[in-house]
Amino acid sequence: MGVSQAVMDGFVEHYIMKGKTMELDLRTKFKSVQSGDVLKDGEEELTLGLVCSNALLIADAKTTKADDKVKKFNMAVKFADKDLTTVTAEDIVVLKKCINVAYEQPLIVGQAFAMLDACGHVPDPDNKDTEPLTVKN
């Protein structure tokens, strides 16, 4: 198994499209490209839920409207201490922007974007009419 396969292994099965919303597994762990070991934030394993919550709560000079700040706060609450959550394509766009601002490391941004992109590209096998969503930056 190659390094990139080790990093990507297991991501896709965590995401199931449900019509125009998608279920996101927040327990998905970030891994080292070299060793495949789970990355940590202090003593805590680095998960998609932790990355999303942290990114949404980072101060952003471009977010000046109170309504936008409240929206980001409410999204962060949605990710706190949960295993699964439902997201929309709009949520994915917001998350990607916030993660890109909050994290400078390509290792985190790259894996987070891959996880979020996978969320919108996996059709629900039970719903033949559902088209996979595409998320554009």
pLDDT of the chain along its 137 residues, tens only? 333 444 444 433 344 444 467 888 899 999 999 999 999 989 999 999 999 999 999 988 887 888 989 999 999 998 888 899 888 888 898 999 999 999 999 999 999 999 998 775 544 334 444 444 443 33
pLDDT of residue 107: 94
* pTM listed for this prediction: 0.72
Name the residue ranges covered by the structural domains of the chain. 3-121
Burial track 6-42 (b if 16+ CB lie within 10 A, e otherwise):
ebeeebeebbbbeeeebbbbbebebbeeeeeeebeee
C-alpha 98/C-alpha 56 separation (Å) is: 6
pLDDT of residue 120: 59
Neighbouring CB atoms inside 10 A of 100's CB total 15
- Whole-angstrom Cα distance, residue 40 to residue 31? 9
Give the pLDDT of residue 50: 94
In whole angstroms, what is the distance from residue 53 CA to residue 62 CA?
A: 18
